Amino acid sequence: MSPTRSRPGWSGGFGPPSRPRRVEGGIVARSTRGAIGEHWWSQRFLAVLESFALGSRLTRGRAYARQGQVVSLEVARGEVRSSVQGSRRTPYEVVIGLAPFTELVWAKVEVALVEQAIYSARLLAGEMPEELEGVFVEAGAPLFPRRVDELTLRCSCPDRQVPCKHLAATFYLLAERFDADPFQILAWRGRERSRLLDRLRALRGEPAPDPGLGSDLPEDLPSVGAAIAMSDLVMPAVPPIEADPHRFWAAVPLAALPSTTPLPADLLLRQLPTPPGLLGGSELVGSLRLLYLRMGGDAE
């Protein structure tokens, strides 16, 4: 979708830019200055937007994202939807579409991930290895769009130039959403996190996680009460300490040890070879044997 020239006086035209209405409770970008996007996958995604060479539109879209003008943002299979408050009373509706991968593509990717055990292990641990991008390329389905026409960009604002600042704001917040949860990139491409991890476990021959104890990695840490309840499931109960200190420290008779056959005191000496004559020979052995027997209480 190639950019077109907008009408004078509109938000992308020749007139002065209109000011957006303030939003209470909007989604505010975590980044307050400089570039947006911390990890390689979000930076790769934003490189697509910046390749459009939109100039001031990117600047205004970034400002919208940091001002909290985006009211809502949802990632689903094949599309991202957001509501962005502009200068009008009603927020503009934004859609960023990206074709999801077919089941055949996902099957190829999942098999390739299992063949490279380190990749699947890192995914199961909640990480996003950078080599993952190459796996998709080898499967003939690049993870990130490479051209503008791979994306469907729609906004209900009157600006006919695409992408507009509302779309740009959505791009920036989407990159931060990907930073927080990279599995949403894969969900956008058609594979939810739980289904992908279940497929990898099955191909690796691993049992599915116990649903009673939770599966995959938790998005939030459990509360103290939940942690205590979970510990009761896997740890035996500890008996209470005796309240009476006299009884607590009282001597408890131990069970008698089994009887054993006594060993001769010079048993070790018998196992050693006789030293050469220069060291004393058999005479030294006899003296040592007598000493061993005395120490062991066997000498008469």
pLDDT tier at 9 (50, 70, 90 boundaries)?
A: very low
Among 134-138, 172-176, 234-238, where is mean pLDDT lowest?
A: 234-238
The sign of the torsion formed by the CA atoms of 110, 116, 118, 121 equals positive
Domain ranges of the chain: 40-204
Tell which wins on pLDDT, 270 or 293. 293
| Consecutive H or E run containing 93 | strand 92-98
pLDDT tier at 225 (50, 70, 90 boundaries)?
A: very low
The sign of the torsion formed by the CA atoms of 151, 155, 160, 161 equals negative
Interval 246-267 mean pLDDT: 59
Q: Are 154 and 94 in contact (CB under 8 A)?
A: yes
Q: Are 285 and 276 in contact (CB under 8 A)?
A: no
Percent of residues, the chain, with pLDDT higher than 70: 70
Would you state the pLDDT for residue 282? 78
Helix ranges, 3-102 (H) = 40-50, 56-67
d(CA 203, CA 102): 19
pLDDT tier at 227 (50, 70, 90 boundaries)?
A: very low
Interval 184-198 mean pLDDT: 93
Read off the pLDDT of residues 115-153 as tens digits, 9 standing for 90 and up: 888 888 888 887 888 888 899 999 999 998 887 788 899
Task: Give the C-alpha distances (Å, rounded to integers) separating 186 from 5, 72, 78, 137, 253.
Answer: 34, 20, 10, 14, 65
Burial class (CB in 10 A: 0-12, 13-18, 19+), 154: middle
Whether residue 74 is predicted with pLDDT greater than 80 in this model: the reply is yes
Select the highest-mean-pLDDT range: 50-59, 170-179, 206-215, 265-274. Answer: 170-179
Tell which wins on pLDDT, 3 or 169. 169
d(CA 125, CA 197): 10
Indicate the average pLDDT of the chain.
76
Q: Are 197 and 216 in contact (CB under 8 A)?
A: yes
Name the residue among 127, 98, 119, 275 with its Cα closest to residue 188.
98
Task: Give the C-alpha distances (Å, rounded to integers) separating 293 from 18, 19, 146, 158, 285.
Answer: 106, 104, 89, 108, 12
pLDDT tier at 252 (50, 70, 90 boundaries)?
A: low
